[in-house]
């Protein structure tokens, strides 16, 4: 262990150092509380043997400071004092000391304190390691609870959390955001023709293809079944969400996943999408925006598929009309 001795009396300091070093521990020394605190702040100290009475920062004050500020690693503290008054001993323990030594100290007393210190610091180290491992497990469990198991995208729960935060931020900052619902065309026919294993593989490929072309700030989620949702924050113009959705639609076409059971051209897996935006001053809720996107998706499905339609509740720029997507 690394043991720090803080004592303003040179004789006591040298005596303690000799005892501690003889027991095989690494020993550091400080001539007062202030110097001791500098060494403690540098980390790596397992045990502090500190005198009660010292200039500057005394022993109890040093104990309190260690307990209040150095909380990452446990430091075992032993107060050394010539005061045999039990009340003063209890005062030191209340300040954060683990044990005490009465001067003049002897090697046996020092040895027993260090045995206890080694046991306690080892237990604290194991506890800290266990807590760190539990924290990692909890983070992983949280990640899994927010991730769709099949596609690796954010799931419905993650979507609802992110959409709620995005809507709240939009209300606060008066900045718009866009939402697009995207659905794989004729996916039931794909499953019936190729089987569900191939259907799962297609869902994974589509998800990866969409995620690959989403830009910074954009996020795509599995909404349910073969349906996905694209969220685009800070979407000041309606055609921004259309452009983002169209980029995703084209990426899926470019995957070239065969769909020979499809009743219309092209014989590939494609997406249809409906997009909508929330703008500053709107009374619409986040659910309203998703509902508008869903209505636009229905229009995209009913007017040919493999296309993006923008909600009729959204005013478009002249250059952003809902055009039939090319292949």
Residues marked as catalytic: 226
Q: Is 272 helix (H, G, I), strand (E, B) or coil?
A: strand
H/E stretch holding 309 reads strand 308-310
**Phi, psi torsion values for 271, nearest 5 degrees:** -120, 145
Q: List % helix, strand, coil for the chain (3-state, nearest 5).
A: 50, 20, 35
β-strand 219-224 against 227-232: which pairing, if any?
Answer: antiparallel
In sequence order, the 6+-apart residues with CB closer than 8 A to the CB of 317 are: 237, 238, 239
Q: Quote the strand ranges of 89-238, DSSP E.
A: 99-102, 177-184, 219-224, 227-232
Q: With beta carbons less than 8 A apart as the criterion, state whether 54 and 7 touch.
A: yes
């Amino acid at each position: 262990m690394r043991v720090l001795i803080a004592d303003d009396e040179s004789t006591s300091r040298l005596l303690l150092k000799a005892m501690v070093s003889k027991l095989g521990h690494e020993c550091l020394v400080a001539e007062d509380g202030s110097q001791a605190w500098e060494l403690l702040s540098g980390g790596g100290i397992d045990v502090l043997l500190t005198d009660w009475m010292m200039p500057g920062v005394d022993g109890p004050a040093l104990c309190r400071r260690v307990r209040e500020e150095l909380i990452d690693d446990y430091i075992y503290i032993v107060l050394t004092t010539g005061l045999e008054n039990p009340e003063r001993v209890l005062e030191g323990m209340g300040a954060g000391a683990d044990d005490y030594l009465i001067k003049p100290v002897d090697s046996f007393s020092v040895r027993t304190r260090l045995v206890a210190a080694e046991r306690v610091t080892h237990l604290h180290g194991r506890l800290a390691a266990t807590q760190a491992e539990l924290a990692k497990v909890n983070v992983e469990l949280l990640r899994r609870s927010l991730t769709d198991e099949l596609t690796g995208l954010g799931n419905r729960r993650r979507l609802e959390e992110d959409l709620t935060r995005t809507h709240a931020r939009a209300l606060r900052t008066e900045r718009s955001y866009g939402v697009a619902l995207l659905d794989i065309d004729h996916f039931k026919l794909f499953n019936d023709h190729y089987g569900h294993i191939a259907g799962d593989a297609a869902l994974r490929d589509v998800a990866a293809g969409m995620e690959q072309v989403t830009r910074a700030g954009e996020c795509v989620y599995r909404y349910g079944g073969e349906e996905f949702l694209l969220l685009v924050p800070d979407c000041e113009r309606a055609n921004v969400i259309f452009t983002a959705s169209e980029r995703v639609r084209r990426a899926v076409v470019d995957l070239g996943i065969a769909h020979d059971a499809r009743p219309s051209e092209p014989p590939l897996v494609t997406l249809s999408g409906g997009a909508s935006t929330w703008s500053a001053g709107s009374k619409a809720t986040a659910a309203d925006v998703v509902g508008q996107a869903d209505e636009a998706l229905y229009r995209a499905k009913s007017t040919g598929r493999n296309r993006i339609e923008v909600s009729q509740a959204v005013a478009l720029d002249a250059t952003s009309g809902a055009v039939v997507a090319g292949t």
